[in-house]
Structure 1
């Protein structure tokens, strides 16, 4: 079973209102040691996120709004707005990139990577209200799983469950999240499939196999005309 976001997220979330002034946001970031905060409406629904990067534009380009170029593109217009902004509604990035509490940790990691963000507001899928926040360090908590739990998942969920193999015929060793498996498979093509499935088990750092096969069904793939 994949770990869901609600199991690792932080529920005591630092958030600011749309009307929060610039200096209040700076204090919130500094006092709580975070690099971004969700911006919420009166009904607690999330409307955006203000990051330290958004705020730095005021210091990096304080005169941006003095003489805006008429042909400025969307990105430059956003920079001008944020540089001149005095409250969260002008400084935030919107719409916010959010995730559901029932999404998996793997889905959260993929979304963070794709969107180049370090944390995601977690919102109720029905109301849009803020339920928590999940950070990269929260996502990495799956790697604190004990080796024995990882081994049980490899044996029961992958070897027996996904591949229908007899677990007693395989030697599985897990050390610091690194999995090694020994045994025999019917077809050689099963080996990369098996290792791929093992690498997707939560907490697995690496997987290698010392596996023998009865039939080399990869030969025809390399030499289809023979």
Structure 2
């Protein structure tokens, strides 16, 4: 998927010279935590987030430093902090350096940026002009739209088996030679040997995502690869030993 497949195109924005109180009201009214700041030409010039509004003089939460640290910081940085906490316009408080992405970029690239920079949203721009925004909520909506739904009852066991085999072949972690799946009336029985519980969970999830699967029966045996010792047996065999 590309960024354009998931992004929100109708985006609430604010002008640089807007009053900071108006920006707060807009954020509260629209239930958003970040406002792109756009000039008259539609060019993105910054972003105003909840984080930019935490240290405010109105709240008494502005930065306060010991005298020795204030001396080391110097008047320039202290003056910048004062503007951040007491500024009356958006451009005085906003973050001017904005991480952006292009609409044609792979969605995976956007997710990597969100994780690396620990941000919740990325403005989508083209030649500096704002075209939309991609948020974590947009990612959830995109994932939900791709979630397999209910399928018709005529999905054959052969088709399900073929799709499972294809998924096995596409995953480097899958135990192609030691585990296999039998499909009976939409119920998938997983047989064979695996080396850890993470692989067990992954196989179950892989099968659950195949259209037409009604239920997954775990009949796998976990074996410690170095010693060959059996770590866990399928539930039915465990019951027989108890």
Q: Say yes or no: TM over 0.5.
A: yes
Compared CA separation, residues 75 and 69, structure 1 to 2 (3 A): closer
- Residue 182 to residue 148, structure 1, CA distance change in 2 (3 Å): farther
- Mapped to 1, the partners of 2:167 and 2:34 lie a distance apart of 38
User: CA separation in 1, counterparts of 2:11 and 2:217?
Assistant: 40
Aligned to 2:21: 23
**TM alignment of 1:97-176, pairs within 5 A:** 97-124=99-126, 127-141=127-141, 142-143=143-144, 145-146=147-148, 155=164, 158-161=167-170, 170-171=181-182
Q: Secondary structure at the match of 1:60?
A: coil
Q: How far 1:130 moved relative to its partner?
A: 1.0
- Give yes or no for contact 2:200–2:220 (8 Å, CA) kept in 1: no
**Structure 1: any 5+ residue segments left out of the alignment?**
174-179, 221-226
Q: Deviations over 1:55-86 (max 9, x none)?
A: 23222347769x99453379766532211322
Instruction: Find the structure with the greater CA-based Rg.
Output: 2
Task: Tell me the TM-score normalised to structure 2 length.
Answer: 0.59
Query: Gaps spanning 5+ residues in structure 2: where?
Result: 152-159, 211-215, 228-242
- Asked if residue 71 in structure 1 is aligned to residue 72 in structure 2, the reply is yes
SS at match of 1:71: helix
C-alpha displacement of 1:156: 7.2
> Per-residue deviation at 1:157?
5.8
Between the aligned partners of 1:97 and 1:172, the Cα distance in structure 2 is: 48
Tell me which residue corresponds to 2:59. 60
Of 183, 190, 196, 1:182 maps to 190
Moved over 6 A (4+): 62-65, 163-166, 191-200
> How much has 1:87 moved relative to structure 2?
1.6
Distance 1:170 1:208, change over 3 A: closer
Contact 1:18 1:39 in 2 (8 A): yes
Q: TM-score when scaled to structure 1?
A: 0.63
CA RMSD of aligned residues (A): 4.7
